[in-house]
Structure 1
Amino acid sequence: MIQIDSFKSANDLIKEFKKEFQEVSEGSIKGIFSGFEKLDDLTSGFQPDDLIIIAGRPSIGKSSFVLSMIRNIAFDFGKSVALFSPEMSSKQIIERLICFETGLSLSKLRRGSLQKHEWELFSVKSKKIEQASIYVDDSYNLTIQSLSELARIYVREKGVNIIMIDNIHQLMSVNQGKGNITREQELSEITRGLKSLAKELHIPIVAVSQLSREVENRSSKRPILSDLRGSGTIEEIADIVSFIYRPEYYNIEEWDDDEQMPTFGQGDLMIAKNRHGDLKNIRFKFTQNIGKFDNLQEYSDLYPKMNHEDNPFITKNLPSANEAFGSNLNDDDDDSDVPF
């Protein structure tokens, strides 16, 4: 017998909206802030029920961006985060978080070659990480079904507010290897499963996705939606689709905009689909040696490689004091550095 319990009347929906609108107007924000100001302005925080895709080519910074968000969400906003990471081990993840907090490079941490003040810094910052509500599952060969079961437990027992997955292409469907099921069909099943899970748990889910090699064959290396690897369903189902783009990855030294500023230590998050708002490219600071993304807002971030000769605010080729005022100014052997 057909049930109609899943239907809601317009009256009920308006009441729910008014209640949420009232809560928002009183300062109760339902979105999960990423800690990246321009991104949060665009999304009002990642919203419940949403599936957010962050895609990019290998080694472009996808995992770094996700871990930077996890750091911000857990440390700065006190939210609880669950990360499913079939790709990186839990040890590698905690190493990255330590690098973020201490500013120490990963190679220095792994060698253990820390000076006394660095050990003290490590001791203080590691306690902060210990207190964060971050849960990591690095199980390999994880199916969408087992991930969903674990996610329900994390939300129910740990109060998890947002789930991150790195990455969607490492997950398996229950039909993998059966009959004529293609990988594209499996990815379609996985994507639909994640969107369904987000709606069931009423939390946002962020998933990393890979891109096809097509982007490497174009003169412009900026990704487009058709570059999403393996399934058009990702583009169709996701609420937000974004791409990580770092020109340095391609040895491109200037940005492809009107300003053509240096690309050193910077990256773009390209919002290519946004079911709830505008499309936009958001620029970030990227610290290579610790693999961390930050807000880009300081002058020193915008011009990190500018030296004295390149600085437009320093006037060049001015005459010396002797040339300007005459050499007899210092004939009295005055040792003062001031000529007057």
Structure 2
Amino acid sequence: MKEIKDSIENSVKRFQKASPDQLIGISTGFERLDDILGGFVEGTLVTIGGRTGMGKTAFALNLLRNISIENNIPSLHISLESTEQLCTNMLIACTLNVKYRGLLRGQLVAEEWEKMDKGLPRIANAPVYLDTKSTYTIDDICKTVEESVQEHQVKIVFIDYLQLIFAKTGFTENRYLELNYITRRLKALAKEFNITIVLLSQLNRNAEDDKRFEHRPVLTDLRDSGTICDDSDVVCFVHRPEYYHIYQDEKGNDMHNVALIIVDKNRLGYTGDAVLNVDMASRRFFESPLDDNMMDGLTSGLDIPIIGQPF
């Protein structure tokens, strides 16, 4: 236990150092997303949901690129779905802006090989740690995270993805309760080590309903877990209208190569949409220099502002 006066002293010190332009957490590397979230805050669980094909794994690796390769902040990427080599290849592609399939096949043009020669040392020297075991229990994850924090001072952990984690090895009769237990453990883990845990999650098939407006995901679409919204401090979705053959919004804005990062829950800030561009050939998410009128049009057509209301 701590006396309240000690906590107040710590809070006052942070208030004194704060400024209107300063984020409260680690920058995501995307200005529009930072405007909503205030960055990734220590001690929090952030869930990123998305249907298959939306690019949530690629988006997570783009965040890792911005945080660790561009800003030298130690991170751990735990993938229960991909191999170490596939994760590395995708990270190379989105960092150096080279075609992912061309990279896998060794079919790059001269300009891309030049990018590789110049850029690979920067990636190799970044404080990025990968763990891609084929089977994973929540106890394994907790142990790996603890070791990464103690040995490498990791500040943010990405886990891809929730539905592949088990409480223990073997068959479970109640998967729903098991996943609830897992999300609670992950939230406690983030608090214990004062880090940010970014958890990827699949969505159920409700998002595919043709009656849904632009198939836009909502909190109830999170698959298999009733407490994931309760345990998560932030819940956001990766949504590409183009995937559903929607090429214009209601304002007539072009939705080709556009990804909406929909922040639907945020205990520490605002909810709303961050509009990014995406190049799926290189698995790269990026911001374009759109003018304010264009940005307002893109989001107002969806009835959600770039910065919405506090949760």
| Fold shared, TM-score > 0.5 on shorter chain | yes
Aligned residues: 291
Alignment CA distance shift 1:117-1:61 (3 Å): closer
Q: Letter of the aligned partner of 1:188 in structure 2?
A: N
Distance 1:117 1:215 in 2: 40
Q: Letter of the aligned partner of 1:171 in structure 2?
A: I
> Normalising to structure 1: TM-score of the pair?
0.81
Distance 1:215 1:27 in 2: 36
Question: Retained in 1: the 8 A contact 2:204–2:222?
Answer: yes
Question: Retained in 2: the 8 A contact 1:176–1:186?
Answer: no
Q: Are 2:104 and 1:110 aligned?
A: yes
Larger Rg: 1
The higher-RCO structure (CA 8 Å, 6+ apart) is 2
Alignment CA distance shift 1:12-1:213 (3 Å): same
Segment of structure 1 superposing worse, 193-202 or 105-114: 105-114
Distance 1:52 1:286 in 2: 21
After TM superposition, give the deviation of residue 115 of structure 1 in Å: 4.1
1:29-178 → structure 2 map (5 Å cutoff):
31-174=25-168, 177-178=171-172
Equivalent of 1:184 in 162, 176, 183: 176
After TM superposition, give the deviation of residue 118 of structure 1 in Å: 3.3
**Identity, % of aligned positions:** 33
Off by >6 Å, runs of 4+ in structure 1: none
> Normalising to structure 2: TM-score of the pair?
0.88
Q: Letter of the aligned partner of 1:240 in structure 2?
A: V
Provide structure 2 residue ranges, at least 5 long, that are not aligned to the other structure.
296-311
After TM superposition, give the deviation of residue 175 of structure 1 in Å: 7.5
Please list the CA deviations of residues 77-113 of structure 1 after superposition, one character each: whole Å capped at 9, or x if unmatched. 1111100001111111111122123322122222223
Please list the CA deviations of residues 14-66 of structure 1 after superposition, one character each: whole Å capped at 9, or x if unmatched. 12211222333499866111101011122221101100000010111100110
Equivalent of 2:227 in 208, 230, 233: 233
Q: Are 2:241 and 1:251 aligned?
A: no
Distance 1:13 1:242 in 2: 30
Equivalent of 1:210 in 185, 189, 202: 202
Please list the CA deviations of residues 135-190 of structure 1 after superposition, one character each: whole Å capped at 9, or x if unmatched. 11011221111111110110111111100101111111138535xx4111111011
Instruction: Specify the alignment match of 1:16 in structure 2.
Output: 10
Please list the CA deviations of residues 271-300 of structure 1 after superposition, one character each: whole Å capped at 9, or x if unmatched. 11111121101110001211111123346x
Alignment CA distance shift 1:26-1:217 (3 Å): closer
Provide structure 1 residue ranges, at least 5 long, that are not aligned to the other structure.
304-340
Segment of structure 1 superposing worse, 199-208 or 100-109: 100-109
Distance 2:180 2:73 in 1: 30
Distance 1:214 1:28 in 2: 38
Instruction: Specify the alignment match of 1:283 in structure 2.
Output: 275
